[in-house]
């Protein structure tokens, strides 16, 4: 069954647009247009302290370079549009969404992923605090949460201001409300937020 | 994503020439908006000119007591700059009210000015959209328009400019400095930078093809108290339904610009002139020719209330 919308669309298409489309289609048949060949480029970057040399399609995001080419699958692909934060990694000391960055933009950069923060035998203090405070359920967003959390404490230390700061001239403090605001780019479908904020507070050395 | 070639420019003039020379070329700075749109094939550049090596990442004082912000200064660096926090608090407040920490670390000053609309119909390639595909129609008119423009819109487009930073820059009367492909430079007042949609909604701003933003300059500090009140559907990481950028002086006079309501940061000088008469007087002037839809008519009383809250905050400061 055709929906009403499809029928009315067909009605419209019966006009000159359809004739033009048919003419265009015939032209394509006669002279097939080749899609542009994907361009590739060499990219060298340091990942978790190790220099890596790759040759990549220019379209490769930093996230796909890490996961698909370097097999560092700790960093996760969630929305692939910068909305969920699962892909968060630390580049030259600052957290970014690796899905919204091309690998070729990172020539010579220092990238730190969850694999570079700690190992199962030697957890980073933030990883240990997430375990202690039950800062996750399914775990999919966790690598991004932890990379973000580590960078957030550094941002607070460096005095980077936030939306919840009352006095812009004061140094930000690692309070619960600061953690919540600064972590808003990391979504947790399981809703472990309050435990994540507690884990962060513990690492920051804050009381309560 | 469509295939593209990539290069890194060494100087601003070289970058401008590279984009002007090659059909389908675009500048790439932080990439946080462009890449998102390229994945959806709403933007389909055939060549990218990466501008990250242009050394436009400094904030320097100007000779007349203002600040020159390099085009590549990140949102985080701009918001954190001690001079900006002290003298242009509205700008820091606006920036930290936008996006997420990760995005602000990568997003640049120039790129943020060029952020494209978040109209859901612009983002959906299956829908007609005069901004995405000129002449295809506007599905937002008569569609879900809760987030969209209430003033300055046209029969072809009711999209809004989505950003926060530019709303503060509008209240500060910033100037956008550019270089063109032939090496000539110009200074565009922020008021004239973004366009209203009219019958060319595919054009967001008045830049020429290949014209590169090199800096944004702020005039000398205005004094007063600085405010950015953003009303949104959740407390963090959401676009504005309405935002208010204001600088208020001790005598109650001041200036105000609104975000989330139009195709550009919305400021009406006649509205500034009645700041001492209170929020309702200001928004009566600022939104005098508003054409809201049934879905977004609430934005006008919301703007009045957001401004009233801002004025009250100014009095208690």
Look at residue A37 in the predicted model and tell me its pLDDT: 73
| Homologous superfamily (CATH) for A40-116 | Beta-grasp domain (3.10.20.30)
Strands B5-8 and B47-50: parallel
Dihedral sign of CA atoms B209, B213, B40, B239 in order: negative
The answer to whether B141 touches B158, Cβ cutoff 8 Å, is: yes
**Residue B8: its H or E element:** strand B5-8
Structure tokens at A135: 């800062």
* Facing B36 at nearest CB: one of A35, A82, A165: A82
Spatial separation of the C-alpha atoms in residues A180 and A196, rounded to whole Å: 9
The arrangement of strands across the sheet holding B254-259 comes to: B225-231, B242-248, B254-259
Q: pLDDT, tens digit, for every residue of B255-304?
A: 999 999 999 999 999 999 999 999 999 999 999 999 999 999 999 999 99
A81 touches chain B (CB under 8 A): yes
The domain locations on chain A are 40-116, 118-204
Residue written as tokens 């606006």?
B94
Q: Which of A9, A36, A97 to mutate to test the interface with B (most CBs of B within 10 A)?
A: A97
Q: pLDDT, tens digit, for every residue of B177-186?
A: 999 999 999 9
In words, the CATH class of domain A118-204 is mainly alpha
B101 touches chain A (CB under 8 A): yes
Task: Tell me the β-bridge partners of B205.
Answer: B194
* Facing B52 at nearest CB: one of A59, A105, A162: A105
CA B68 to chain centre: 17
The arrangement of strands across the sheet holding A40-47 comes to: A50-57, A40-47, A110-112, A88-91, A94-97
Q: What is the pTM of this model?
A: 0.92
Q: pLDDT, tens digit, for every residue of A90-147?
A: 999 999 999 999 999 999 999 999 999 999 999 999 999 999 999 999 999 999 999 9
């Amino acid at each position: 069954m055709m929906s009403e919308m499809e029928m009315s669309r067909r009605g419209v298409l019966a006009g000159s647009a359809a004739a033009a489309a048919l003419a265009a289609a015939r032209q394509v048949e006669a002279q097939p247009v080749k899609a542009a060949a994907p361009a590739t480029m060499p990219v060298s970057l340091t990942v978790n302290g190790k220099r890596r040399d790759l040759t990549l399609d220019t379209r490769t995001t930093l996230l796909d370079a890490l996961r698909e080419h370097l097999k560092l699958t700790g960093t996760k692909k969630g929305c692939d549009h910068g909305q969920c934060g699962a892909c968060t990694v630390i580049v030259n000391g600052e957290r970014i969404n690796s899905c919204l960055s091309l690998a070729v933009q990172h020539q010579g950069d220092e990238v730190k992923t969850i694999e570079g923060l700690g190992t199962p035998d030697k957890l980073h203090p933030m990883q240990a605090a997430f375990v202690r405070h039950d800062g996750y359920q399914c775990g999919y967003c966790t690598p991004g949460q932890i990379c973000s959390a580590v960078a957030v404490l550094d941002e607070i230390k460096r005095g980077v201001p936030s939306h919840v700061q009352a006095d812009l001239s004061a140094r930000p403090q690692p309070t619960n409300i600061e953690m919540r605001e600064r972590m808003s780019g990391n979504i947790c479908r399981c809703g472990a937020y309050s435990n994540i904020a507690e884990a962060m507070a513990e690492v920051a050395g804050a009381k309560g | 994503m469509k295939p593209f070639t990539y290069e890194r420019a060494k100087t601003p003039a070289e970058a401008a020439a590279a984009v002007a020379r090659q059909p389908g070329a675009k500048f790439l700075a932080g990439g946080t908006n462009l890449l998102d749109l390229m994945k959806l094939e709403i933007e389909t550049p055939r060549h990218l000119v990466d501008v990250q090596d242009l050394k436009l990442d400094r904030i320097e004082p100007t000779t007349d007591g203002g600040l020159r912000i390099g085009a590549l200064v990140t949102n985080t660096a701009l918001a954190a700059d001690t001079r900006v926090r002290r003298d242009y608090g509205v700008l820091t407040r606006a920036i930290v009210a936008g996006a997420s920490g990760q995005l602000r670390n990568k997003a640049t000053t120039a790129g943020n000015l060029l952020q494209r609309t978040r109209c859901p119909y612009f983002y959906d390639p299956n829908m007609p959209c005069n901004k995405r595909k000129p002449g295809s129609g506007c599905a937002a008119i008569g569609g879900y328009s809760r987030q969209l423009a209430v003033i300055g819109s046209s029969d072809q487009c009711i999209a809004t400019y989505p950003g926060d930073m530019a709303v503060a820059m509008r209240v500060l009367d910033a100037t956008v400095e550019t270089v063109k492909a032939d090496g000539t430079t110009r200074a565009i007042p922020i008021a004239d930078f973004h366009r209203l949609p009219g019958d060319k909604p595919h054009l967001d701003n008045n830049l020429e093809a290949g014209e590169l933003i090199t800096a944004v300059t702020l005039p000398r500090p205005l004094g007063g108290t600085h405010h950015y009140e953003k009303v949104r559907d959740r407390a963090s990481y959401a676009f504005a339904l309405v935002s208010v950028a204001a600088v208020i002086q001790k005598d109650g006079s001041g200036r105000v610009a609104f975000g989330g309501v139009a195709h550009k940061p919305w400021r009406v000088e006649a509205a500034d002139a009645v700041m001492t008469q209170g929020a309702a007087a200001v928004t009566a002037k600022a939104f005098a020719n508003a054409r809201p839809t049934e879905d977004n008519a609430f934005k006008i009383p919301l703007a009045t209330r957001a401004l009233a809250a801002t004025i009250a905050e100014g009095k208690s400061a």
